[in-house]
Chains A and B, each alone.
Chain A
Amino acid sequence: MKKHALASAVVFLLLGAAAYGALFVAPTEKTMGTIQRIFYLHVSSAWTGLTAFFICFLANLMYVWRRKPRWDWVAVSAAEVGLVFTTVVLVTGPIWAHPVWGIWWTWDARLTSTFVLWLLYNSYLLLRTLVDEPDRRALFSALFGIFAFIDVPLVFGSIRWWRTQHPQPVVMGGSGSGLEPTMWYVLLFSWGAMLSLMALLVRARFEFEAVRGETDLVRREAEGV
């Protein structure tokens, strides 16, 4: 319990430092001005969400291969946490877009593929509520989770392959892309802070899933008495 509280405090401090870096350390961007500071929150959340979905994808593959419940628990934990980060992306994006584009939302390739990603992982969680038997639930959702991950490369490539309202990539983009060094440091620090938050949330969610597994066992035992 003490360890958990300490980890939470460290993550909280990292998030505070990341916010400080974004608001006070990073230089003001010339074209957009102050509103561009949402970038550090928005992009780091997006990268972290995609990382969580990648962990979910690997755990789903491992479940299909090994059929150990622990892999299912990792997968559902990472999926739910990835969904939370993607929700933050879908909320902070329009807040940033409105003053810059003059609209809250547009159905371009990046925004649409991100929204579809959000829907897919919501469906993944919904699917799990529809199957009662634990092994079948784990297998169905693992197969669906592997399919859902197909959208992740689409989200990544959307701003590289198609013309979009969303800005072109600053990382692994074409010539002329990139960031001023201080902006880079703040972005990477923000991503590190978000990853630590992701680890904390996945761990807590995994613990919940483990307790649920134990509850199911005790419940079955109680019903059998």
Chain B
Amino acid sequence: MKNLNSVFAAYLAAWGIFFAYYISIARRTAALREEIERLKNSLNRAK
């Protein structure tokens, strides 16, 4: 099973990239939702 380490490295790298991207979208979306709530609250107070 020569080069098995390279095969695992490739899979680990790919899954790591996909996972990191998925988490980054989730975090960015959550941050925007928080901002919307904050803006809506400040709008309601201004009215």
A residues with CB within 8 A of B: 15, 19, 23, 33-35, 37-38, 41-42, 45, 81, 84, 87-88, 91-92, 95-96, 98-99, 197, 200-201, 204-205, 207-208, 211-212, 214-215, 218-219, 221-222, 225
Determine if B21 and A201 form an interchain contact, defined as CB atoms under 8 angstroms apart.
yes
Which of A81, A96, A218 meets B43, CB within 8 Å?
A218
18 contacts between A and B (CB under 8 A): A23-B7, A35-B6, A38-B6, A38-B7, A41-B14, A88-B13, A88-B17, A92-B14, A201-B21, A201-B25, A204-B25, A208-B28, A208-B32, A215-B39, A218-B40, A218-B43, A219-B39, A222-B42
Closest CB-CB distance, A217 to chain B, in whole Å?
A: 9
Report whether over half of chain B's contact residues are helix, strand or loop; otherwise say mixed: helix
The 9 A-B residue pairs whose C-beta atoms are closest, nearest first, are: A35-B3, A92-B10, A208-B29, A95-B10, A225-B46, A218-B39, A38-B10, A88-B14, A211-B32
Once bound together, how far apart are the Cα atoms of A12 and B23, in whole Å? 14
Determine if B6 and A211 form an interchain contact, defined as CB atoms under 8 angstroms apart.
no
Determine if B17 and A84 form an interchain contact, defined as CB atoms under 8 angstroms apart.
yes
Report whether over half of chain A's contact residues are helix, strand or loop; otherwise say mixed: helix
Number of interface residues of B (CB under 8 A): 30
Q: Return the chain B residue nearest A16 by Cβ.
A: B15
1/0 per residue, CB under 8 A from A, across B6-22: the answer is 11011101110110011
Q: Return the chain B residue nearest A89 by Cβ.
A: B14
Once bound together, how far apart are the Cα atoms of A205 and B29, in whole Å? 8
Once bound together, how far apart are the Cα atoms of A81 and B21, in whole Å? 9
Closest CB-CB distance, B36 to chain A, in whole Å?
A: 5
With a cutoff of 8 Å between Cβ atoms, the chain B residues found around residue A211 in the complex are 29, 32-33, 36
Determine if A204 and B32 form an interchain contact, defined as CB atoms under 8 angstroms apart.
no
Closest CB-CB distance, B35 to chain A, in whole Å?
A: 6
With a cutoff of 8 Å between Cβ atoms, the chain B residues found around residue A200 in the complex are 22
Determine if B39 and A91 form an interchain contact, defined as CB atoms under 8 angstroms apart.
no
Closest CB-CB distance, B28 to chain A, in whole Å?
A: 6
Which of B13, B14, B26, B36 meets A204, CB within 8 Å?
B26
Determine if B6 and A96 form an interchain contact, defined as CB atoms under 8 angstroms apart.
yes
Once bound together, how far apart are the Cα atoms of A35 and B33, in whole Å? 44
Once bound together, how far apart are the Cα atoms of A23 and B1, in whole Å? 11
Determine if A34 and B42 form an interchain contact, defined as CB atoms under 8 angstroms apart.
no
Determine if A33 and B14 form an interchain contact, defined as CB atoms under 8 angstroms apart.
no
Once bound together, how far apart are the Cα atoms of A88 and B15, in whole Å? 9
Determine if A99 and B35 form an interchain contact, defined as CB atoms under 8 angstroms apart.
no
Closest CB-CB distance, B6 to chain A, in whole Å?
A: 5
